[in-house]
Structures are given as C-alpha cells and as structure tokens.
Structure 1
Amino acid sequence: MNKTKKNTILFLLGKLVSLTGTRIYGFAMGLYILKVTGSALNFAVSILLSTIPAIIFGPIGGVIADKVDRKKLVLFSDFISGVIMFVAFGLSQIYGLQLWIIYMSTVFLSIFNTLFTTSFDAALPNLVDEARLGKVNSFNQSINSLTSIIAPIIGGIIYAVVPPTMFMIFNGVSFILSTISEYFIDFYWKVGKVKEKIVAKENQFFSDLKEGFKYIRNNSVLMIVLSVAIFINFLFTAINVAIPHIIVVQFSLSDNLYGIIESAFAVGSLFTSVVFASKLGKFKPVKMGFYLIALGIVNCLFSVPLIISNIGNMDIFVSVFYSILFFIMGFLIVVINIPLSVYMQKTTDDEYRGRVMALNATIVTAITPLGYLLHGLLLDLIPTSIIMIYTGVGIFLLAIFMVKKFKNNGSNEIIAGEMKVAEVEN
C-alpha cells in the first residue's frame, strides 16, 4: 500500500471515529441540558463556551502549528481530549452530572479541538499526493455530512437506554482510538520532519502572528478567497436563523417535518462529496462564480412560500419545496467549499499554512455570532421574505466581486476560467 492510500485511510478512519463520538456526545449533552433545566439559555451557554475558546485560541494554535511538529500536536490534542472526557466522567461520578462539569469539559475540548483542527488542516497537503488532495477533502466532507445525519439517530437510541454520563466514556474512547489511528500516519514523507521552533516569548508570538497577516495581505488571490469564505459564512447566519423561524413559527410544521427538511442539506452534501469526489479539485473562478449565483438564487427562492402563504394548506408544499432547496444548497456548498479549501491548502507555503488556516477559521468563527445577532434583530423588524432575498442578492454580488477581482488579477489561468497553482492538481 502506497503512502498516500495508507495516510488517507488512517486519516479518514480516525476522523470518522472521533467525529462520530464527538457529535453523539454533543447531541446527548444538549438533550440532557434541555431536559434537566428546561432552559434555552443554559443550552445557548454551552454553545457559546465552545465558540469563544476557538476564537481566542485560533491564532495561537496557528502559530504553534507552524512552529511545532504537527504530528505531535495532533496526537497530543486527541489524546488529551480523551483524558478530559474520562476526567469529566470521574467528576460526574463524585458530584453527579452538574452543569459546571459539562461547561468545563466543553471549554477544554474546544481549546484542544482548535489546536487539533489547525494542525491537521495545515498538515493535510503533506500527507497525500497533490492529485488526491481534492478527493481527500471531499471524503472528509462526506464524513462531516454522514456523522451529522447518523449522530442524532444513534445518540437518541443510546440516550434512551444508558445514563448520560456514559456518553463521556464513549467520546473518550473515540478520541483514544482516533489517536491510535493517527499515530500510524506518516506526516513526514513529503516534507521531512519539521525543526521545532516553539515560541517562548510574547513579543515573538505576536511577531509570528503579524507575519501570518502580512503573508495573507501580500497574496491578492488568497485575500479574495478568504474574503469570499468569510462573507459566505456571514450571510449564511441569516439562513440559519430564518429557516427554523419560518418552518416552526410561521408555518407551524411538525418536528418530524422540520427534521426531514433540515436533513436534506446533509444528504445533498453527502451525495455531492461522494459522487463528485474526483471532480472537485480544480479551482475555477468562473465556475465558482456560477455556483455562487446559483446559491444566491436558491436563497431567494426560500421566500416563495412566504409570498404565496395564503393559498390554502401549505404543509406538503413547504416540506417538499424546502427539502429540494436544502438538497441543492448542500450540493452547492460542497462544490464551493472544497475547491476553496484545497486552493488555500495548496497555495499557502507550508511554514505559513497553520497561521493562514487558523486566521481564516478564527475570523469566520468570530463573525458568526455577530451575524446571528444582527440577523436575529432584523427578523424582528422586517419580513422574513426580505431577509431571504437580501441574502440571495448579497451572494449574487459576492459572485460578481470574486470573478471581477480574479480577472483583474491578470493571470492567464484566471482569464481562461481555470485557476491552477503551478503544477499542482487538486
């Protein structure tokens, strides 16, 4: 078995085990908090506690990932996450499953998950052949989509028969198994072992972080890609806020129908990342612009049932119509996200990749709560249909901006409609 195939199998296997355990655990703890406290605020606090550490430690993790052996960071992060789960289980046996135990474990898991994700994302281009990087990212997306579908199902079944604290054991074991899988991944076959240069002084850390910002600023194409990624995520907070309100409040659909509609997105993502895995490698600005325009149109179409909502029983129409739109959206998000991710991975120099990935993730994570707050306020002030049209138009304008910027960049590959990075193939 060649290095690429071996690394790919071990990476995806570890990711599947770890992510399944984490999402089942997250589902179970969220359900436990809601059932025991009945408070949406307590549930929101748990989400907030998983977000804030990622924002704070994201840049720190990026600098560390560029200075320290990434394999050591990946193994350390996953192993410590497993230890955190076992410690949380032990505390829950002594004090009972208290909110402070859940909150504390959430914070520490978020910190080490940030370090893990940054390190692995930065190392991924060094683990596989250049021609397979796009396919590996597609399979990675498949695992994300698959676990988002099966985790609530498995979690719901297990929750009915075992104590909530057992989910800590399950998650801890999944982290340890993932660590074992990752131990056998060859992180060095393309680049050799990294000479560790751990940052010891505060001023050196900020200097390294500043270098990361400077690197992004001096790369005009990378700036465009990052800008597109950030604004797409910001606009999508409107969708995430508006759609549940439309389905549950405005059309009063059942919980089952709501679940079916939302699952269509994951099904669309999974279908696309599996079926089109080998075709998502090349970054083509013109085609990307087309996909963004299509995404904008889909967002505008979400307003249609709101505009014609007075024509009798809308339950079946809304359920089918929104399920189709969510499936298409899942398809479009994958064909947009994967080429963007692969492009950033392959065009960023190895010694800067950790900081670039971390800064992008940090900005996206930080802007998300602001987007939720803004669009939540707007939903109380203006019709929901206007919100959906606004997001669609925003994405449409983003597509025009991206294509125009790429053409102004002056690259022959861009003018031809296909961006290639030297001899690198996705």
Structure 2
Amino acid sequence: MEDSIKLKKATYHLWTFTISKLISSFGAQVYSFAVSFYILQLTGSATSFAANLICNILPRTLAAPVAGYITDKYSRKMITITAQIATTIAIASLLAVTLTSGLSLIAIYTTSCILSLTSMFSGVAFTSSITGLVDKERIQKAMSLNQMSISFAAIASPAVGGLLYGAVSMPVFLIMYIAASSLAVFLELTMNFNLFAHRKEEVEGNPKESMWQSMKAGISYLKLQPLLMIIIWISLLINFLFGAFEVGYSFILIEKMKMASQRFGFTQGAFAIGMLLLSIYFTVRKEVKYPLLISKRAIIGMGVIMGAVAAPLLMSMSETTIFVYYLLLMFSLGASVIIVNTPIMVMMQKQIDDDFKGRVFSILETMSMALMPLGMVLYGFLYDVFPAQWILLISASLFIGVTLILARPSIVRKAHPALDRVKPIHEEVTS
C-alpha cells in the first residue's frame, strides 16, 4: 500500500516539476530573447553581446563547487525554492530600475550575473534530486519530461518575443518573467524531494566535514568514475569551441543579415522543436544501451551543423531560402543536443551515489564551463575583426577533431565493454 502511494506521488512529481520548469523557463526565454535583441540593436557589437553571455556563464562556473557542497549538505527542496525566490526578486529589481532610471547595459549585466547564480543553485539541487523525486524505472522519462518542458517554452517564447518585440515595452517582458517565477515557487513547495532518496543520516558526535574536505571527497569520488572523467574533458573543450556558434549565430543573423525579429524568433523556435520532439521520443523508448557512443555521434553532428551555419555567407541565397535553411539547421541542432545530453544524464543519475550528486554535478558543471567565458571573449573579439564564415568553419573542424580524439574507439570500448561482444566498433550500434 505504501509503495502504491509513493508511486502516485512520484507520478505527481513527474508532472509538477515539468509544469514548474515550463512556467519558469518561458519567462526566462522571453527575457533572454528580449535582452539579446536589445543589446545587439543598441550596440551592434558582438563583443557587447558576448559580454552578456559571459555574465550568464562566469558566475555559475566560479560558484558551482560551493553549490555542490551546499546541495549535498542541506535541504535540496529549500535550496531550489530559495533560488527561485531570488530569481523573482532580481527581475523585480531590474523592473524597478527600468521604470525609474531606464534600462542600461550595466543593469542588464548585473541581473544576468544574479540570474546565473540562482539558476545554477536551482539546477544543481533539482538535478541532484531526480532520483529522490521519482522511482528508478522512470528516471529517463523524468529527464525527458523535464527537457520537454524547457523545449516547449523555448518554442513559444522566441516566437512570442519576436512578435512582441518593439510592440510592447521591456517592462512587459519583465512582468511576465516575475509572474512565471512566482508560480514556479508555489509548485515546488508541494513536492517531496526525499520520496525515493537514499541519503545517509548524519551521526551525532561525528566530526563535521569542512567545505574543503567535502569538495575534495567529491573530486576523489569522481576520479573513481573513468567514464565521468572522459565526459568532463570532452565537455571542457567542446563548450569552449561551441562559443563560435553561441556568439556567431545571433551576430550573423541579426547584425550581418539583418533578419527581422519575427523570423529570428522562429529559427530559435525551430531549435526548441527539435529538442521537444527528441525529448518526447526519449520518454517512450527504452533506455539507451551505449550512452557515450550515441552522444559521440550526436556531438559530431553538432560540429557539422555549426560549420553549416557559414554557408549563406559563402554563397548567394534569397531571404526566404536563408530563413528556411536556418530553420532546418536549428531544428537539427536542437535534436542533436537532446541525443547528446539525455542518455548521459540518465546514466549519471543511476551511477552516482545520492550523497555525492550535488558535488559531482557541480564539478561537472564547473569543468564543462571553465573555458566558456574565455571562448566568449575570444569569439566576441574575432567576430568583430575577422570574417564570420572562416571563424565558424575552423572552429567546427576543431570541434569534430576534439570529439574524434577524446572519444576514440578504444575509449568507447572501455566505457562500454559489451560493444566488443556485440560487433566491431566501426559497426557502432544505436540501441
């Protein structure tokens, strides 16, 4: 009887955190779209645009180890809710500044830094709690539903943002975000983060572990997981090189090609549709058997897509052809991102001990993002100085090369020994 009640509660969790993510993500996406367009139209500089991206990345990279320690030490539910409340307050403060003294780059950059920290604390706590919120058999479904909600918000918000940009004032965008974030707080309050958790109880009288000792223990634990170490190194270099796309895509479409905000919004929506459809697929299919292998192939696909972004700069195309071309590219990229992330995240949820999840996920985040701020600065400068097409093509080549070297066949075999018993590595299976 008790198991039946827990399963019903887990089903409630599946939908509650999905809706919570959908609501808060919609506000965040609308905000991000409006701010990106505002910065590029105000300054016309890829460097200024990159600076905002850095404000979204650098604080979370520096604070991630602390977030991991706090997540493993204290209530994950309280951390998630506190972070969401802080998000609401930050946006309300930006709204107040906008209404009193007008929107400025400094105000945007400051708010982006705060939102970076709150989203990181919330993300680490939420990710570390998946196995506590739902039963083991539905972890892949939970991860996929979570991604579906983010994708669905990403589909609607750029399209809505593109249609509304210029028609309504910036305060309207901020008010939407405040309302969405407040509703997300209410939903998170109803969830039991320890329903299926297996965390050790602290024994009274035992010496308390310092934050530094706790972080060292997390690193020691991670060193015993060779597959996770491979993922860290791939993420570190791939995320650095992907800065060529992060900075270049918006810069090329908005500044170089003068694409209308509505059309630009629809290309962003196509990215989200690709994510959504693949997320739906992962909610109904069986668990992926060889996560690293599947992710490797999808990362290579992302590299090809990144290089293909340069094509309209190298050949003459009509405006409509360019629009349709980028729709298809972004759809494919969105699908590839889910194929990379979902199998790996499910594997990590099942392999990592509950008491180490916060620290391990925070270390992964820190390492995977460590070079991203440098990438943003470098590519922001490069796009202002050199032709965009060559930056993209060279970066895409390096992107694919790094993947082929770090996830070479011998490494994939070590991660998935069963491959040798199935068929040779050059006949890689997708099941």
**Common topology (TM > 0.5):** yes
| 1:181 Cα deviation after fit | 0.7
Match of 1:413 in 2: 418
Deviates more, 1:70-79 or 1:286-295: 286-295
Q: Secondary structure at the match of 1:409?
A: helix
Match of 2:236 in 1: 230
Deviates more, 1:257-266 or 1:69-78: 257-266
- Measure, in 1, the Cα distance between the counterparts of 2:251 and 2:215: 40
Deviations 1:304-354 (A, max 9, x none): 5555x2xx6554554444433332222222111111122222211111111
- Measure, in 1, the Cα distance between the counterparts of 2:21 and 2:254: 33
- Measure, in 1, the Cα distance between the counterparts of 2:376 and 2:58: 15
Matched-pair identity in %: 25
Distance 1:252 1:136, change over 3 A: same
Match of 1:19 in 2: 25
- Equivalent pairs counted in the alignment come to 412
Of 366, 374, 377, 1:373 maps to: 377
Distance 1:34 1:278, change over 3 A: same
Q: Does 1:116 align with 2:122?
A: yes
Distance 1:202 1:248, change over 3 A: farther
Amino acid across the alignment from 1:351:
D
Deviations 1:196-239 (A, max 9, x none): 79xxx999222222222222222111111222233332232223
Query: What 5-or-longer segments of structure 2 have no aligned partner?
Result: 1-6, 424-430
Match of 2:427 in 1: none
Q: Secondary structure at the match of 1:188?
A: coil
Of 378, 384, 390, 2:389 maps to: 384
Deviations 1:37-61 (A, max 9, x none): 6575766554433333212211111
Q: Does 1:184 align with 2:186?
A: no
What's the TM-score once normalised by structure 1's chain length? 0.81
- Measure, in 1, the Cα distance between the counterparts of 2:351 and 2:419: 15
- Measure, in 1, the Cα distance between the counterparts of 2:362 and 2:172: 33
Q: Does 1:340 align with 2:344?
A: yes
Deviations 1:175-212 (A, max 9, x none): 22111111111211212676479xxx999222222222
Tell me, yes or no, if the aligned pair for 2:23 and 2:153 is still in contact at 8 Å.
Answer: no
Amino acid across the alignment from 2:230:
I
RMSD, matched Cα: 3.7
Q: Secondary structure at the match of 1:20?
A: helix
| 1:378 Cα deviation after fit | 5.5
Amino acid across the alignment from 2:88:
G
Distance 1:164 1:202, change over 3 A: farther
- Measure, in 2, the Cα distance between the counterparts of 1:85 and 1:196: 37
- Measure, in 2, the Cα distance between the counterparts of 1:287 and 1:412: 15
Query: What 5-or-longer segments of structure 1 have no aligned partner?
Result: 419-425
Task: Describe how 1:1-16 pairs up with structure 2 within 5 A.
Answer: 2-16=8-22
Task: Describe how 1:275-314 pairs up with structure 2 within 5 A.
Answer: 275-279=281-285, 281-284=287-290, 285-302=292-309, 309=315, 313=317
Of 165, 177, 200, 2:171 maps to: 165
- Measure, in 1, the Cα distance between the counterparts of 2:380 and 2:109: 25
Of 385, 395, 411, 2:400 maps to: 395
Q: Secondary structure at the match of 1:165?
A: helix
Q: Secondary structure at the match of 1:214?
A: helix
Tell me, yes or no, if the aligned pair for 2:51 and 2:377 is still in contact at 8 Å.
Answer: no
| 1:66 Cα deviation after fit | 0.8
What's the TM-score once normalised by structure 2's chain length? 0.80
Task: Describe how 1:120-269 pairs up with structure 2 within 5 A.
Answer: 120-155=126-161, 163-191=169-197, 195=201, 204-244=210-250, 247=253, 258-269=264-275
Deviates more, 1:46-55 or 1:92-101: 92-101
Match of 1:360 in 2: 364
